[in-house]
Amino acid sequence: MAERHEEDLDELVTERFAAQSLVRPDADAVERAAEAALRPRSLDEFVGQRVVRDQLSLVLQAARRRGRAPDHVLLSGPPGLGKTTLAMIIAAELGASLRVTSGPAIQHAGDLAAVLSSLEEGEVLFLDEIHRLARPAEELLYVAMEDFRVDVVVGKGAGASAIPLALPPFTVVGATTRAGLLPAPLRDRFGFTGHLDFYADDELERVLLRSAGLLDVPLTHQAAHEIASRSRGTPRIANRLLRRVRDWAEVRGDGSLDLAAARAALEVYEVDRRGLDRLDRSVLEALCRRFGGGPVGLTTLAVAVGEEPETVETVAEPFLVREGLVGRTPRGRVALPAAWAHLGLTPPSETGTLFA
Ligand SMILES: Nc1ncnc2c1ncn2[C@@H]1O[C@H](COP(=O)(O)OP(=O)(O)O)[C@@H](O)[C@H]1O
Ligand SMILES: [Mg+2]
């Protein structure tokens, strides 16, 4: 390990990610293109999230009746649950055009000022990953959202002055995976906040059947059920697994996407019946087999599975914790009873185990 060049390491990490990325909730550029075809275009087509959908539908209808731009909308929730899709639907339902940018894409406040000052009346500005906006841009945004004004700075240094520019009414749709990171003054400027939650399996089944229709592949209900149950409550993952099952069906099967095809395909891709992949399982195996269920520190655990601690913490752990398979204690990670059961192992006697 020590004599490896950094580039080699990078490559190694990328390879591992590539091999194990089937159940990661975020998307790369290639996948985003594939996703575009599957996006629902209206609130009626948007599956699940009944509460957010109802509330949003009211906000939009009221705005349409008044003939005015609706309040700014904040969408929060984990990756892959439909935030970008909803932003597009909001614009579509308003018959408005959509401008898209993101927190990380805005390097300087001036970049945001340029976007804002070019907005036309009624436009929807989608600000993805809004929690990653730099502070000066954030402050500019407060004023624009509240007073529909942007102060354009002309000149440099001591001679610089700010010329206020009035903006036409528009709507900001902000999306964030980390609502807690948004400063309160920014959060307060959104008239409506919708929180997206993980989907139930029957909702994912509907997502899958809809996608299969669009892709024109023969997916059976049983297969949809099987794929849904391994999709971690996330439509993006469901759609991705569907594409991989289609690959299998076309190459090794007879083209039909039935239960047998779904099971065989997901076995090839090492996505198990709970939606765990190889990394997830090796973390569980290490915890149970090598460390007797823990507690064990993150770094030690990461070394045991041959990964960076950050990978274990950000890629594998959130889902394992959410599923009640792994617990975090002040003394380290512990395997919970469901972890032993999932691996088909018997936990050591309760007295020997430390559950905090
Ligand atoms: N409620 C839903 N109904 C149908 N498809 C959905 C739904 N939510 C998300 N999807 C699909 O999942 C994929 C990821 O959604 P996206 O809006 O990009 O998620 P986010 O922006 O929250 O990461 C898209 O292809 C989208 O079509
Ligand atoms: Mg998105």
Topology adopted by domain 49-195: Rossmann fold (3.40.50)
The CATH code of domain 278-353 reads 1.10.10.10
CATH 3.40.50.300 range(s) for the chain read 49-195
The answer to whether the CB of 207 is under 6 A from ligand 1 is yes
Q: Could you read off the pLDDT of 142-190 as tens digits, one per residue?
A: 999 999 999 887 888 888 888 899 999 999 999 999 888 899 989 999 9
d(CA 38, CA 211): 6
Q: Could you read off the pLDDT of 259-301 as tens digits, one per residue?
A: 999 999 999 999 999 999 989 999 999 999 999 998 999 999 9
Nearest CA to ligand 1 atom 27: 39
**Among candidate residues 75, 126, 127, 71, the one with its CA nearest the CA of residue 104:** 127
For ligand 2, the distance from its centroid to the CA atom of residue 28, given in whole angstroms, is 11
| CATH number for domain 201-268, candidates 1.20.120.80, 3.50.50.60, 1.10.8.60, 1.10.3720.10 | 1.10.8.60
CATH 1.10.8.60 range(s) for the chain read 201-268
For ligand 1, the distance from its centroid to the CA atom of residue 195, given in whole angstroms, is 14
Angle between helices 50-66 and 83-94 (to 10 degrees): 30
Active-site residue set: 83-84, 128, 177, 236
The pLDDT score that the predictor gives to residue 318 is 87
Report which ligand 1 atom has the smallest distance to the Cα of 81. 22
CATH 1.10.10.10 range(s) for the chain read 278-353
- Give the H/E segment covering residue 173: strand 171-176
The pLDDT score that the predictor gives to residue 350 is 56
Q: Residue 276 in contact with residue 336, Cβ under 8 Å?
A: no
Residue whose structure tokens are 């509330």:
55
Cα 140–chain centre separation: 27
Ligand 1 pocket test target in 39, 57, 130 with most atoms within 8 Å of CB: 39
DSSP-based helix, strand, coil % in the chain, nearest 5? 55, 15, 35
The answer to whether the CB of 316 is under 6 A from ligand 1 is no
**Among candidate residues 264, 277, 267, the one with its CA nearest the CA of residue 237:** 277
The pLDDT score that the predictor gives to residue 145 is 96
Q: Residue 49 in contact with residue 207, Cβ under 8 Å?
A: no
d(CA 166, CA 343): 62
- ∠ at Cα 327 (337, 307), nearest 5°? 105
Mean pLDDT, the chain cut into blocks of 10 residues (356 residues total): 46 46 79 86 96 96 94 94 96 96 92 95 96 93 94 83 92 93 92 94 98 96 98 94 95 95 94 92 95 94 93 88 94 95 86 51
